[in-house]
Amino acid sequence: MNPQTVAERAAWNRLLLALPDPHLLQSWEWGAVKGQTGWAAHRLAWQAPGQSAPTAAASLLLRRLSRLPWGVAYVPKGPALDWTDPAAVELALGGVEAAARQRRAIFVKIDPDVDPDSPTGQQVTATLRRRGWRPSAEQIQFRNTALLDLTAGEEALLAAMKPKWRYNIRLAERRGVQVRLGGPDDLATFYALYVETGSRDGFIVRPFDYYALTWRTFMQPVDAQAPWASLLLAEVAGDAVAGLILFGFGATAWYLYGASSQRQRSLMPNHLLQWEAMRLAASRGCTTYDLWGAPDLLEESDGLWGVWRFKEGFGAQFAPHIGAWDFPVNRQLYPLYTEAMPRALDWMRGRHRQQLVAPDSPAGDE
pLDDT higher than threshold 90 for residue 27:
yes
Q: Are 357 and 364 in contact (CB under 8 A)?
A: yes
Q: Is residue 58 located within the same domain as residue 184? A: no
Q: Is residue 131 located within the same domain as residue 243? A: no
Q: Determine the Cα–Cα distance for residues 226 and 14; give it in Å rounded to an integer.
A: 9
pLDDT higher than threshold 60 for residue 47:
yes
pLDDT higher than threshold 90 for residue 357:
no
172 is in which domain, residue-wise? 145-292
As a whole number, mean pLDDT of residues 28-45 equals 96
Which of 323 and 301 is assigned the larger pLDDT? 323
Listing DSSP states for 76-134 in one string gives TT--BS-TT-HHHHHHHHHHHHHHHHHTTEEEEEE-----TTSHHHHHHHHHHHHTT-E
Q: Is residue 111 located within the same domain as residue 215? A: no
Q: Determine the Cα–Cα distance for residues 303 and 281; give it in Å rounded to an integer.
A: 28
Q: Is residue 170 located within the same domain as residue 130? A: no
Please, which pLDDT band fits residue 52 given cuts at 50, 70 and 90? confident
Q: Is residue 28 located within the same domain as residue 121? A: yes
**For residue 129, is it within any domain?**
yes
pLDDT 10s digits, 57-70: 999 999 999 888 99
Q: Determine the Cα–Cα distance for residues 64 and 103; give it in Å rounded to an integer.
A: 10
> Which DSSP symbol is given to 204?
-
pLDDT higher than threshold 90 for residue 352:
no
**For residue 303, is it within any domain?**
no
Q: Is residue 287 located within the same domain as residue 205? A: yes
As a whole number, mean pLDDT of residues 159-171 equals 98
Closest of 325, 334, 323, 322 to residue 101, by C-alpha: 334
Which of 287 and 350 is assigned the larger pLDDT? 287
**C-alpha dist (Å) from residue 334 to 326, 337, 340:** 10, 5, 10
Closest of 103, 111, 115, 118 to residue 136, by C-alpha: 111
Q: Is residue 283 located within the same domain as residue 150? A: yes
**For residue 75, is it within any domain?**
yes
Q: Determine the Cα–Cα distance for residues 241 and 259; give it in Å rounded to an integer.
A: 8
What does the pLDDT read at residue 2? Answer: 84
**For residue 315, is it within any domain?**
no
Instruction: Indicate the range of 78-87, 215-224, 271-280 predicted with least confidence.
Output: 215-224
User: Alpha-carbon torsion 133, 79, 40, 1, what sign?
Assistant: positive
**For residue 301, is it within any domain?**
no
Amino acid letter for position 237: A
**For residue 351, is it within any domain?**
no
Closest of 18, 20, 19, 111 to residue 61, by C-alpha: 111
pLDDT higher than threshold 90 for residue 142:
yes
**For residue 220, is it within any domain?**
yes
Q: Is residue 48 located within the same domain as residue 168? A: no
Q: Determine the Cα–Cα distance for residues 215 and 230; give it in Å rounded to an integer.
A: 9
Q: Is residue 51 located within the same domain as residue 81? A: yes
Classified as helix, coil or strand, 138 is coil
Q: Determine the Cα–Cα distance for residues 79 and 230; give it in Å rounded to an integer.
A: 26
User: Alpha-carbon torsion 273, 299, 205, 196, what sign?
Assistant: positive
What does the pLDDT read at residue 224? Answer: 87
Residue 334: how many other CB atoms lie within 10 Å: 17
Q: Are 252 and 290 in contact (CB under 8 A)?
A: yes
Amino acid letter for position 45: A
- Phi and psi torsions of 60, nearest 5°: -95, 115
CATH label of the domain that carries residue 205:
3.40.630.30
What does the pLDDT read at residue 1? Answer: 64
**For residue 169, is it within any domain?**
yes
Q: Determine the Cα–Cα distance for residues 347 and 363; give it in Å rounded to an integer.
A: 15
- Neighbouring residues of 254: CB distance < 8 A, sequence distance ≥ 6: 24, 246, 247, 248, 290, 292
Please, which pLDDT band fits residue 354 given cuts at 50, 70 and 90? very low
Instruction: Indicate the range of 270-274, 327-331, 333-337 predicted with least confidence.
Output: 333-337
Taking CB atoms within 8 Å and a gap of at least 24, the contacts of 330-337 are 330/70, 330/105, 330/106, 330/107, 333/70, 333/106, 334/106, 334/107, 337/72, 337/106, 337/107
Q: Is residue 156 located within the same domain as residue 211? A: yes
Classified as helix, coil or strand, 227 is coil
Q: Is residue 159 located within the same domain as residue 126? A: no
Q: How many distinct structural domains can be found in the chain?
A: 2
Which of 222 and 7 is assigned the larger pLDDT? 7
What does the pLDDT read at residue 336? Answer: 87
Q: Determine the Cα–Cα distance for residues 78 and 290; give it in Å rounded to an integer.
A: 16
Q: Is residue 63 located within the same domain as residue 28? A: yes
Question: What does the buried/exposed string (b/e) look like for 151-188 if buried means 16 or more CB atoms within 10 Å of the residue's CB?
Answer: eeeeeebbebbeeebbebbebbbeeebebeebeeebbe
pLDDT 10s digits, 223-274: 989 999 999 999 999 999 999 999 999 999 999 999 999 999 999 999 999 9
